[in-house]
Structure 1
Amino acid sequence: MVRWSHDRRTRDYVARQLAAGRSKKDVLRLLKRAIAREMFRHLTEPCPIDDYSDLRPARQARNITLTAAAAHFNVWPITISRLERGLKRDDTLATNYRQWLNTLIIDAA
Protein backbone atom coordinates (compact mmCIF):
# COMPACT_ATOMS: atom_id res chain seq x y z
CA MET A 1 0.00 0.00 0.00
CA VAL A 2 2.91 2.35 0.70
CA ARG A 3 4.36 1.72 -2.74
CA TRP A 4 0.91 2.20 -4.25
CA SER A 5 0.71 5.71 -2.82
CA HIS A 6 4.37 6.83 -3.04
CA ASP A 7 6.30 4.97 -5.73
CA ARG A 8 5.98 6.41 -9.24
CA ARG A 9 6.53 3.07 -11.00
CA THR A 10 3.91 1.40 -8.83
CA ARG A 11 1.38 4.18 -9.41
CA ASP A 12 1.92 3.84 -13.17
CA TYR A 13 1.49 0.05 -12.91
CA VAL A 14 -1.71 0.44 -10.88
CA ALA A 15 -3.07 3.01 -13.34
CA ARG A 16 -2.43 0.63 -16.26
CA GLN A 17 -4.13 -2.25 -14.46
CA LEU A 18 -7.15 -0.16 -13.46
CA ALA A 19 -7.41 1.13 -17.03
CA ALA A 20 -7.45 -2.49 -18.21
CA GLY A 21 -10.63 -2.98 -16.17
CA ARG A 22 -9.24 -4.83 -13.15
CA SER A 23 -10.69 -4.27 -9.68
CA LYS A 24 -8.61 -2.78 -6.85
CA LYS A 25 -8.54 -6.19 -5.20
CA ASP A 26 -7.13 -7.76 -8.38
CA VAL A 27 -4.62 -4.94 -8.77
CA LEU A 28 -3.43 -5.43 -5.19
CA ARG A 29 -2.97 -9.17 -5.85
CA LEU A 30 -1.03 -8.44 -9.04
CA LEU A 31 1.04 -5.81 -7.27
CA LYS A 32 1.98 -8.27 -4.52
CA ARG A 33 3.08 -10.78 -7.15
CA ALA A 34 5.08 -8.14 -9.02
CA ILE A 35 6.83 -7.08 -5.80
CA ALA A 36 7.53 -10.73 -4.95
CA ARG A 37 9.13 -11.24 -8.39
CA GLU A 38 11.21 -8.10 -7.94
CA MET A 39 12.41 -9.19 -4.50
CA PHE A 40 13.19 -12.70 -5.76
CA ARG A 41 15.42 -11.22 -8.46
CA HIS A 42 17.25 -9.15 -5.83
CA LEU A 43 17.71 -12.16 -3.57
CA THR A 44 18.93 -14.55 -6.25
CA GLU A 45 21.31 -12.24 -8.14
CA PRO A 46 24.90 -12.68 -7.09
CA CYS A 47 26.11 -9.52 -5.43
CA PRO A 48 29.49 -8.10 -6.39
CA ILE A 49 32.12 -8.50 -3.73
CA ASP A 50 35.39 -6.70 -3.27
CA ASP A 51 38.52 -8.33 -4.60
CA TYR A 52 40.90 -9.19 -1.77
CA SER A 53 43.57 -10.78 -3.98
CA ASP A 54 45.96 -7.84 -3.45
CA LEU A 55 46.21 -8.33 0.32
CA ARG A 56 48.42 -11.44 0.51
CA PRO A 57 51.05 -10.21 -2.00
CA ALA A 58 51.13 -6.83 -0.24
CA ARG A 59 51.67 -8.50 3.14
CA GLN A 60 54.32 -10.84 1.79
CA ALA A 61 56.16 -8.00 0.03
CA ARG A 62 56.52 -6.29 3.41
CA ASN A 63 57.68 -9.53 5.12
CA ILE A 64 54.78 -9.50 7.55
CA THR A 65 53.64 -12.85 8.90
CA LEU A 66 50.03 -13.88 9.24
CA THR A 67 50.53 -14.00 12.98
CA ALA A 68 51.84 -10.42 13.12
CA ALA A 69 48.96 -9.12 11.00
CA ALA A 70 46.43 -11.04 13.08
CA ALA A 71 47.96 -9.73 16.31
CA HIS A 72 47.68 -6.16 15.04
CA PHE A 73 43.94 -6.58 14.38
CA ASN A 74 43.36 -8.81 17.43
CA VAL A 75 41.97 -11.69 15.34
CA TRP A 76 43.08 -15.27 14.73
CA PRO A 77 45.61 -15.82 11.91
CA ILE A 78 43.10 -18.07 10.11
CA THR A 79 40.79 -15.05 9.84
CA ILE A 80 43.45 -13.11 7.94
CA SER A 81 44.27 -16.15 5.81
CA ARG A 82 40.64 -16.73 4.84
CA LEU A 83 40.24 -13.05 4.05
CA GLU A 84 43.31 -13.03 1.82
CA ARG A 85 42.18 -16.16 -0.05
CA GLY A 86 38.68 -14.78 -0.59
CA LEU A 87 37.02 -17.47 1.53
CA LYS A 88 35.61 -14.96 4.00
CA ARG A 89 34.03 -11.62 3.29
CA ASP A 90 34.66 -8.87 5.81
CA ASP A 91 34.75 -5.50 4.10
CA THR A 92 35.57 -3.55 7.25
CA LEU A 93 38.54 -5.75 8.15
CA ALA A 94 39.74 -5.76 4.53
CA THR A 95 39.61 -1.97 4.33
CA ASN A 96 41.45 -1.56 7.64
CA TYR A 97 43.97 -4.23 6.65
CA ARG A 98 44.62 -2.58 3.27
CA GLN A 99 45.07 0.84 4.94
CA TRP A 100 47.44 -0.65 7.49
CA LEU A 101 49.52 -2.29 4.77
CA ASN A 102 49.65 0.99 2.81
CA THR A 103 50.67 2.87 5.96
CA LEU A 104 53.54 0.47 6.46
CA ILE A 105 54.88 1.17 2.98
CA ILE A 106 54.84 4.91 3.67
CA ASP A 107 56.55 4.47 7.05
CA ALA A 108 59.19 2.15 5.52
CA ALA A 109 60.02 4.64 2.76
Structure 2
Amino acid sequence: MERQMQLDQESLVNAWKEQLPALMNDGDSFTVQADEADEQTLLIHFNAAGRQKYSLDFRCTYVDSREVSVDLIDVEKSGHQTDERTDTVQGLAQQYTRQIHECAQALQGLTNP
Protein backbone atom coordinates (compact mmCIF):
# COMPACT_ATOMS: atom_id res chain seq x y z
CA MET A 1 0.00 0.00 0.00
CA GLU A 2 1.41 3.38 -0.99
CA ARG A 3 1.53 6.02 1.69
CA GLN A 4 0.78 9.47 0.33
CA MET A 5 2.62 12.43 1.75
CA GLN A 6 0.70 14.77 4.00
CA LEU A 7 3.12 17.67 3.52
CA ASP A 8 2.41 20.46 1.05
CA GLN A 9 5.03 21.21 -1.59
CA GLU A 10 6.08 24.62 -0.22
CA SER A 11 6.73 23.16 3.24
CA LEU A 12 8.65 20.31 1.63
CA VAL A 13 10.86 22.73 -0.35
CA ASN A 14 11.58 24.73 2.81
CA ALA A 15 12.46 21.58 4.76
CA TRP A 16 14.89 20.54 2.01
CA LYS A 17 16.50 24.00 2.01
CA GLU A 18 17.10 23.64 5.76
CA GLN A 19 18.31 20.02 5.77
CA LEU A 20 20.41 19.73 2.60
CA PRO A 21 23.28 22.09 3.61
CA ALA A 22 24.22 19.71 6.45
CA LEU A 23 24.89 16.99 3.84
CA MET A 24 26.80 19.11 1.33
CA ASN A 25 30.54 19.33 0.72
CA ASP A 26 32.27 22.61 1.51
CA GLY A 27 32.03 25.04 -1.36
CA ASP A 28 29.14 23.30 -3.12
CA SER A 29 25.88 25.21 -3.40
CA PHE A 30 22.34 24.29 -4.41
CA THR A 31 18.84 25.51 -5.07
CA VAL A 32 15.63 23.58 -4.44
CA GLN A 33 12.36 24.49 -6.05
CA ALA A 34 8.94 23.00 -6.51
CA ASP A 35 8.12 21.35 -9.83
CA GLU A 36 5.05 23.27 -10.98
CA ALA A 37 3.92 20.26 -13.04
CA ASP A 38 3.98 17.72 -10.17
CA GLU A 39 3.38 18.41 -6.49
CA GLN A 40 5.31 15.25 -5.54
CA THR A 41 8.47 16.48 -7.31
CA LEU A 42 11.32 18.82 -6.43
CA LEU A 43 13.89 20.25 -8.83
CA ILE A 44 17.35 20.42 -7.28
CA HIS A 45 20.25 22.29 -8.88
CA PHE A 46 23.80 21.76 -7.58
CA ASN A 47 26.82 23.93 -8.28
CA ALA A 48 29.99 21.93 -7.64
CA ALA A 49 32.91 23.64 -5.96
CA GLY A 50 36.06 23.94 -8.02
CA ARG A 51 37.49 25.60 -11.09
CA GLN A 52 35.59 23.45 -13.59
CA LYS A 53 32.24 25.02 -12.67
CA TYR A 54 30.04 21.96 -13.04
CA SER A 55 26.33 22.28 -12.38
CA LEU A 56 23.93 19.36 -12.24
CA ASP A 57 20.12 19.38 -12.23
CA PHE A 58 18.08 16.59 -10.67
CA ARG A 59 14.41 15.71 -10.49
CA CYS A 60 13.53 14.22 -7.11
CA THR A 61 10.09 12.61 -7.05
CA TYR A 62 8.44 11.17 -3.97
CA VAL A 63 7.28 7.68 -4.93
CA ASP A 64 5.53 7.56 -1.58
CA SER A 65 6.05 9.19 1.83
CA ARG A 66 9.28 7.24 2.43
CA GLU A 67 10.95 6.76 -0.96
CA VAL A 68 12.27 9.11 -3.62
CA SER A 69 13.20 8.53 -7.23
CA VAL A 70 16.14 10.65 -8.41
CA ASP A 71 16.86 11.47 -12.06
CA LEU A 72 19.76 13.47 -13.45
CA ILE A 73 18.20 15.80 -16.02
CA ASP A 74 21.00 18.19 -17.04
CA VAL A 75 24.76 18.70 -16.68
CA GLU A 76 26.66 21.85 -17.55
CA LYS A 77 30.31 22.82 -17.33
CA SER A 78 31.06 26.55 -17.22
CA GLY A 79 27.51 27.26 -18.42
CA HIS A 80 27.59 24.88 -21.42
CA GLN A 81 26.05 21.45 -21.95
CA THR A 82 28.63 18.73 -21.30
CA ASP A 83 28.95 14.98 -21.63
CA GLU A 84 27.44 13.32 -18.57
CA ARG A 85 29.35 10.07 -19.16
CA THR A 86 32.73 11.41 -18.00
CA ASP A 87 34.19 10.02 -14.78
CA THR A 88 34.08 13.46 -13.15
CA VAL A 89 30.39 13.99 -13.93
CA GLN A 90 29.50 10.41 -12.95
CA GLY A 91 31.27 10.91 -9.62
CA LEU A 92 29.44 14.17 -8.96
CA ALA A 93 26.11 12.65 -10.00
CA GLN A 94 26.60 9.71 -7.62
CA GLN A 95 27.63 12.03 -4.79
CA TYR A 96 24.63 14.34 -5.24
CA THR A 97 22.21 11.45 -5.72
CA ARG A 98 23.44 10.00 -2.41
CA GLN A 99 23.00 13.40 -0.71
CA ILE A 100 19.46 13.68 -2.09
CA HIS A 101 18.58 10.22 -0.72
CA GLU A 102 20.19 11.09 2.64
CA CYS A 103 18.19 14.30 2.81
CA ALA A 104 14.95 12.48 2.00
CA GLN A 105 15.80 9.95 4.71
CA ALA A 106 16.50 12.73 7.24
CA LEU A 107 13.13 14.32 6.47
CA GLN A 108 11.07 11.15 6.95
CA GLY A 109 9.78 12.51 10.24
CA LEU A 110 7.97 15.17 8.19
CA THR A 111 7.02 13.17 5.12
CA ASN A 112 6.02 9.96 6.89
CA PRO A 113 4.55 10.99 10.27
Whether TM-score is above 0.5 comes out as: no
Using CA pairs below 8 Å that are at least 6 residues apart, which structure has the higher relative contact order?
2
TM-score of the pair, normalised by structure 1:
0.25
Please state which structure has a larger fraction of its residues in strand. 2
Please state which structure has a larger fraction of its residues in helix. 1
TM-score of the pair, normalised by structure 2:
0.25
Bigger Rg, structure 1 or 2: 1
